[in-house]
C-alpha cells in the first residue's frame, strides 16, 4: 500500500463549468515522455487549444453542432469522464448525495471493503513555493526565528526573501520560521499556520506548517464546489483527509505539495462556511482498510463506472475496483468529444515512415483503453498505453474511442463537364457521407453517401459545375477538405481569318486572352470578352508559332486554356 501510494503523480484538471474539481493523473514512464515530449502542444485540437494546431472550427449551420478539421487525415477521439477513474467520482458523489445518500455510504461505495475510523490529528507541512524570490507579509505582530533565536516585530512587516538573504534584514538568516496571530501571506496569498523558509542556494522553499484540519479548509473548497450538497462535501473532506495522511512523505522539507501534484490548497481565500462545516462535522475521520489509512484517490467524472487500479497501473488495490456510477450523468463531462487531431502531425511525432493507416484500441474490463496501436501504411506500428495516449493528447480520460478519417486529394483542378474521384478511408466510423460547398455559397450541403469497402476504403466520383469544396461528414465530425477547382472548357479554332471559339459553361463578358508561346512562357497578344453565348473571336492571320486561348471568367470558375494551336 505505501509503495503503491508513492508511485502516483497527481494533477488536477479544472472544470470549465463549475468551480475547480480535483482530479489526479498517473505518473508516466520516462521513455514515453522522451518519445512524445511536446506532442500535445503541437497537435491537440479540442476544448483547450494548443499551439500549431490543425485548422478547426465549430459550425451550427446544421441540425447539430459540429467539430471540424481541414486536415486531410484526422484522428477522432470521443470519450467519457474526466480523470483517472480510480476511487471517488466527485460528480458521482454529488449525484448520490442529491439522491439521499449519507457521506459514509458514499465513501463505502467508492472504496469497497473500507470502514471509517479515527486518525491522529497533527500538523502537516505544505510546500507553497519553490522559487528564486518570495514576498512574505505579516498583517499583525510577528515573530521570526532563525539560528540566532526569535526576533519579535511589534508592527506589520513585509520580508522580501531571496536565496542570498532577506532584503533590508542583515541580522536575519536563512533558514527561518515566521509566525503571527493572524494569517501570513506568501506572494499575495494568505495562509494559516507558520511559515518555514529555507534555501538550497539556488531556490527558496516556503512551507506552511499548520494543523491538518486547517489545511483541509483550504483544500476541500478548492477540490469541490462549496455549493454542492453537504453530504458530498463531507465525503470529499474525509477523502481529502485520508489522502493527505496516506501520502505524507519522509526525507523532504515538506509533507505535501500545495498544488495539484497532491491536493489543491488555496489557503484562506479558498475557505468557505459550507466546506468548513463539512470538515468540522467529520473531524478526525478517515477511510481505513485493515486498520490502515487508505490512499483515497479521487477525480472528477467517471463516465458511468469507475476504473480498476490493476487495469490502470498494473497494481491491484482491493478498494480501488470498478463500481457503478449511475448519477455521474450530472457532470458536463460524462460524455465528451469529438476531439480532432491532425494525423499528419502524429506521423511526425511518432516517427512513423508513412501516413497512418489504422488505429487499433484494446479495451480493459472497465471499457477504458488499455493499449492503442497506431499502424502506418507501410505496416510500421507504435503501441502506447491508454494513460500514455491520454497524457500526450490531453484527453480527459482513458475511456475513449478512436476513429480515423481521410479524404483525398487535398486539391485538384478539372475541366468543366469532367469528373474527379475523391478517395480515402474510415476506421472506426460508419454511415459516412460527403458535404459540399460551391463557390459563392456560405453553407455546406449534403453531397451523397459514401460507400465503404470491407477494409474501410472508399472512392466516389463528383462532377462539380463550379469550384467546390468537399468534406467528410460523420456524426458530429466534419473532417478533411478537398478543393476541386473547375476551369471552363475553352474550344478554339485557328483559321486564316483569325481565331474563334467559345467557352463552356457559357458566360458573358468573360475575359479572353490570345497567347503565344515564347520558350517556356506565354505572351499575351490580345484580349477580348465573350458574348452572351460564351463565344469570342480574334481577327487577323497568325504568324507561324504555337498559340493558346486563356479564359478567366470568375464566378466560381478557375482560369482555363484551350489546347495548343500550332500555325505553320
What is the b/e burial string over 468-490, where b = at least 16 CB atoms within 10 angstroms of the residue's CB? Answer: bbbbbbbbbbbbbbbbbbbbbbb
Name the pLDDT band for 325 (thresholds 50, 70, 90). Answer: very high
Look at 56-70, 165-179, 326-340, 376-390 and tell me which has the smallest mean pLDDT.
Answer: 56-70
Q: List domains and CATH numbers for the chain.
A: 37-81+334-487 (2.60.40.10), 489-567 (2.60.40.10)
Q: Is 264 within 8 Å of 251 (Cβ atoms)?
A: no
| Cα separations in angstroms, 449 against 277, 402, 455, 467, 481 | 59, 22, 17, 20, 16
**For residue range 24-41, what is the model confidence (pLDDT) as tens digits?**
333 333 333 333 443 332
Q: Which pLDDT value is given to residue 64? A: 60
- What are the cell numbers at 462? 463528383
Name the pLDDT band for 426 (thresholds 50, 70, 90). Answer: very high
Q: What's the CA gap between 361 and 401, in Å, rounded?
A: 8
| Cα separations in angstroms, 238 against 91, 196, 214 | 16, 27, 14
Q: What is the mean pLDDT of residues 93-104?
A: 98
Q: What's the CA gap between 449 and 472, in Å, rounded?
A: 10
Q: What is the mean pLDDT of residues 291-317?
A: 95
User: For residue 336, what are the β-bridge partners?
Assistant: 79
**For residue range 279-299, what is the model confidence (pLDDT) as tens digits?**
999 999 999 999 999 999 999
Is the pLDDT confidence value at 107 over 80?
yes
Q: Which pLDDT value is given to residue 53? A: 33
- What are the cell numbers at 310? 490493476
Q: Which pLDDT value is given to residue 352? A: 87
Tally helices (H) and strands (E) across the chain: 11, 40
Main-chain dihedrals φ then ψ at residue 479, nearest 5 degrees: -130, 150
Nearest to 511 by CA among 542, 491, 534, 493: 534
Q: Is 225 within 8 Å of 331 (Cβ atoms)?
A: no
Q: Is 351 within 8 Å of 363 (Cβ atoms)?
A: no
Name the pLDDT band for 348 (thresholds 50, 70, 90). Answer: confident
Is the pLDDT confidence value at 60 over 50?
no
Q: Which pLDDT value is given to residue 286? A: 98
Q: Which pLDDT value is given to residue 30? A: 34
Name the pLDDT band for 171 (thresholds 50, 70, 90). Answer: confident
Is the pLDDT confidence value at 242 over 60?
yes
Q: Which pLDDT value is given to residue 65? A: 83
529 vs 353, more confident: 529
Q: What is the mean pLDDT of residues 201-207?
A: 96
- CA dihedral (348, 350, 356, 362) in degrees, to 10, reads -160
Q: What is the mean pLDDT of residues 539-563?
A: 95
Q: What's the CA gap between 70 and 161, in Å, rounded?
A: 51
Amino acid at each position: 500500500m505505501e509503495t503503491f501510494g508513492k508511485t502516483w503523480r497527481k494533477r488536477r484538471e479544472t472544470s470549465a463549468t463549475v468551480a475547480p474539481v480535483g482530479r489526479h493523473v498517473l505518473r508516466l514512464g520516462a521513455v514515453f515522455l522522451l518519445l512524445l515530449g511536446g506532442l500535445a502542444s503541437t497537435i491537440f485540437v479540442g476544448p483547450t487549444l494548443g499551439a500549431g494546431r490543425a485548422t478547426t472550427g465549430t459550425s451550427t449551420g446544421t441540425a447539430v453542432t459540429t467539430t471540424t478539421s481541414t486536415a486531410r487525415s484526422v484522428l477522432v477521439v470521443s470519450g467519457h469522464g474526466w480523470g483517472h477513474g480510480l476511487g471517488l467520482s466527485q460528480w458521482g458523489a454529488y449525484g448520490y448525495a442529491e439522491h439521499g445518500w449519507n457521506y459514509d455510504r458514499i465513501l463505502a461505495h467508492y472504496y469497497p471493503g473500507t470502514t471509517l475510523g479515527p486518525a491522529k490529528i497533527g500538523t502537516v507541512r505544505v510546500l507553497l513555493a519553490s522559487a528564486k524570490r518570495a514576498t512574505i507579509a505579516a498583517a499583525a505582530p510577528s515573530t521570526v526565528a532563525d539560528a540566532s533565536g526569535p526576533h519579535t516585530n511589534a508592527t506589520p512587516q513585509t520580508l522580501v526573501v531571496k536565496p542570498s538573504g532577506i532584503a533590508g534584514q542583515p541580522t536575519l538568516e536563512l533558514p527561518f520560521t515566521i509566525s503571527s496571530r493572524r494569517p501570513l501571506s506568501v506572494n499575495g496569498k494568505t495562509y494559516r499556520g507558520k511559515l518555514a523558509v529555507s534555501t538550497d542556494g539556488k531556490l527558496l522553499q516556503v512551507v506552511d506548517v499548520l494543523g491538518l484540519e486547517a489545511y483541509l479548509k483550504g483544500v476541500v473548497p478548492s477540490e469541490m464546489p462549496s455549493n454542492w450538497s453537504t453530504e458530498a462535501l463531507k465525503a470529499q473532506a474525509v477523502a481529502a483527509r485520508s489522502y493527505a495522511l496516506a501520502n505524507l512523505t519522509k526525507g523532504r522539507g515538506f509533507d505535501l505539495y500545495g498544488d495539484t501534484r497532491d491536493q489543491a490548497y488555496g489557503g484562506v481565500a479558498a475557505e468557505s462556511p459550507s466546506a468548513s462545516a463539512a470538515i468540522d462535522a467529520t473531524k478526525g475521520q478517515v477511510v481505513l482498510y485493515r486498520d490502515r489509512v487508505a490512499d483515497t484517490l479521487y477525480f472528477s467524472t467517471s463516465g458511468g463506472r469507475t476504473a480498476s487500479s490493476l487495469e490502470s497501473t498494473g497494481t491491484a488495490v482491493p478498494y480501488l475496483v470498478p463500481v457503478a456510477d449511475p448519477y455521474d450523468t450530472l457532470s458536463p463531462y460524462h460524455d465528451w468529444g469529438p476531439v480532432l487531431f491532425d494525423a499528419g502531425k502524429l506521423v511526425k511525432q511518432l516517427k512513423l515512415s508513412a501516413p497512418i493507416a489504422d488505429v487499433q484500441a484494446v479495451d480493459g474490463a472497465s471499457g477504458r483503453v488499455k493499449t492503442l496501436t497506431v499502424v502506418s501504411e507501410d505496416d510500421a506500428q507504435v503501441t502506447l498505453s491508454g494513460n500514455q495516449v491520454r497524457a500526450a493528447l490531453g484527453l480527459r480520460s482513458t475511456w475513449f474511442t478512436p476513429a480515423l478519417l481521410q479524404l483525398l486529394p487535398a486539391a485538384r483542378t478539372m475541366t468543366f463537364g469532367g469528373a474527379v474521384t475523391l478517395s480515402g478511408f474510415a476506421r472506426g466510423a460508419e454511415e459516412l457521407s460527403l458535404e459540399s460547398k460551391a463557390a459563392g455559397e456560405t453553407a455546406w450541403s449534403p453531397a451523397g453517401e459514401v460507400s465503404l469497402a470491407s477494409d474501410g476504403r472508399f472512392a466516389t466520383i463528383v462532377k462539380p459545375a463550379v469550384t467546390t469544396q468537399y468534406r467528410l461528414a460523420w456524426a458530429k465530425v466534419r473532417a478533411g477538405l478537398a478543393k476541386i477547382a473547375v476551369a471552363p472548357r475553352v474550344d478554339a479554332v485557328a483559321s486564316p481569318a483569325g481565331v474563334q471559339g467559345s467557352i463552356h459553361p457559357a458566360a458573358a463578358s468573360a475575359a479572353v486572352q490570345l497567347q503565344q508561346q515564347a520558350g517556356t512562357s506565354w505572351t499575351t497578344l490580345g484580349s477580348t470578352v465573350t458574348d452572351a453565348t460564351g463565344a469570342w473571336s480574334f481577327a487577323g492571320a497568325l504568324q507561324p508559332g504555337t498559340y493558346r486561348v486563356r479564359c478567366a471568367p470568375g464566378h466560381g470558375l478557375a482560369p482555363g486554356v484551350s489546347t495548343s494551336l500550332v500555325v505553320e
